[in-house]
């Protein structure tokens, strides 16, 4: 069966929630359970978020995100240790319990984005200072920046991330100077490696988000996810220049399929999201599976088993 046929056959079999016998913390996409032994179980659901809101679910999305993130985490261990301990299920991992830093780190290599906080949105409004960086005049949408920049955000309790800068983070005491400088160095090195690996596969890694935590001795770890189509923007390199010359958006392999549809419906997160058409869900699912195949060189062959029962069994609970 083709990816499309598998997606169509399982369009309603999505993992949107799961209850496990440990204290839970819920994110937009992940459910994190504290086992009380210094480890967490992190389940990646099929929920999809855009504009800081959960807007629907995509078949196999959790399995794709988990597989891509696990693949990358093994590739970056020479740069920074990661939280990953074990992979018992296609959509669940066992990870170290660490102390998350109260910031997210976005590395941007291109002048792009569509959300209210994106670099392009601010640039198009005439702003040239962005997260502590001075941007040159005369740039156009989707253009490569002179060099990748680190643009941090704070984690807000209302679900909206707020733009900030290195100066504000250090000045407010949110993160110490030495630790923040280490975070920036590591983030840029991760982005360099990710960009080089993507380029070898004919892709452009336009931007991405990283999260970090520390252990009780203050050692820095990469946590959450890395270089997934949820946390990153991937474009095909082969026709990037041609499409830009025609005023077209780059062809992508990420959740911009969903973002762009919502934007076409004038939805930016303020109200209840519109229902996403089935053909858009299928399109997004195909792109997620295709990205896994391009990056890793292997087809995913996702599990079609009922996900909650499968995860519980693989965690030894049933």
All structural domains of the chain with their residue ranges: 3-98+277-314, 100-245
Q: What was the pLDDT predicted at 156?
A: 66
Own/partner contacts of 13-16, CB < 8 Å, gap of 24 or more, are 13/59, 13/304, 13/306, 13/307, 14/46, 14/57, 14/58, 14/59, 14/61, 14/307, 15/43, 15/45, 15/46, 15/57, 15/62, 15/91, 15/307, 15/308, 15/311, 16/45, 16/46, 16/47, 16/57
* Class in CATH terms, 3-98+277-314: alpha beta
Q: What was the pLDDT predicted at 158?
A: 55
CA distance 148 to 158: 29
Contacts of 141 (CB under 8 A, 6+ apart): 111, 112, 120, 124
Residue-wise pLDDT for 96-125, tens only, equals 999 999 999 999 999 999 888 899 999 999
Q: What is the mean pLDDT of the chain?
A: 95
Tokens of 158: 């209302």
Q: What was the pLDDT predicted at 52?
A: 83
In this structure, the chain runs to a length of 318
For the chain, helix, strand, coil in percent to 5 are 30, 25, 40
- Residue segments in the chain with a per-residue pLDDT below the cut of 70: 156-160
Contacts of 110 (CB under 8 A, 6+ apart): 142, 143, 144, 145, 204, 206, 207, 233
CA distance 104 to 192: 18
Q: Are strands 203-214 and 162-163 parallel, antiparallel or unpaired?
A: unpaired
Query: What pTM value is reported for the model?
Result: 0.94
* Class in CATH terms, 100-245: alpha beta
Contacts of 145 (CB under 8 A, 6+ apart): 108, 109, 110, 111, 135, 139
Q: What is the DSSP string of 144-158?
A: EEEEEEEEEEE--TT
Residue-wise pLDDT for 195-254, tens only, equals 999 999 999 999 999 999 999 999 999 999 999 999 999 999 999 999 999 999 999 988
CA distance 146 to 120: 15
Residue 92 main-chain phi, psi, to 5 deg:
-140, 140
Is residue 152 within 8 A of residue 106, CB to CB? The reply is: yes
Please determine whether the domains at 3-98+277-314 and 100-245 fall in the same fold group of CATH. no
């Amino acid at each position: 069966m083709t990816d499309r046929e598998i997606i169509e056959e399982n369009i309603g079999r999505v993992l949107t929630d799961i209850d496990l016998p440990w204290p839970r913390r819920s994110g937009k996409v992940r459910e994190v359970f504290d086992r009380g032994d210094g480890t967490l179980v992190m389940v990646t659901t099929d929920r999809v978020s855009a504009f800081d809101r959960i807007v629907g679910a995509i078949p196999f999305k959790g399995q794709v995100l988990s597989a891509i993130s696990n693949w990358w985490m093994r590739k970056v261990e020479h740069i920074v240790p990661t939280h990953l301990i074990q992979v018992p299920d296609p959509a669940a991992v066992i990870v170290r319990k660490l102390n998350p830093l109260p910031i997210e780190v976005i590395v941007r290599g291109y002048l792009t984005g569509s959300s209210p906080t994106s670099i392009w949105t601010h640039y198009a409004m005439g702003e040239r200072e962005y997260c502590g960086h001075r941007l040159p005049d005369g740039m156009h949408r989707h253009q490569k920046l002179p060099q990748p920049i680190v643009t941090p955000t704070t984690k807000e309790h209302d679900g909206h991330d707020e733009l900030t800068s290195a100066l504000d983070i250090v000045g407010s005491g949110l993160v110490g100077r030495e630790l923040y400088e280490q975070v920036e160095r590591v983030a840029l090195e991760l982005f360099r490696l990710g960009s080089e690996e993507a380029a070898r596969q004919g892709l452009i890694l336009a931007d991405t988000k990283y999260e970090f935590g520390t252990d009780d001795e203050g050692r820095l770890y990469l946590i959450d996810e890395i270089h997934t189509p949820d946390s990153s923007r991937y474009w095909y390199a082969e026709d990037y220049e041609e499409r830009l010359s025609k005023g077209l958006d780059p062809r992508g392999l990420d959740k911009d399929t969903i973002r762009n549809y919502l934007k076409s419906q004038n939805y930016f997160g303020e109200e209840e999201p519109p229902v996403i058409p089935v053909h858009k869900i299928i399109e997004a699912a195909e792109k997620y599976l295709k990205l896994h195949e391009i990056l890793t060189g292997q087809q995913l062959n996702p599990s079609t088993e009922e996900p909650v029962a499968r995860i519980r069994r693989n965690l030894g609970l049933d």
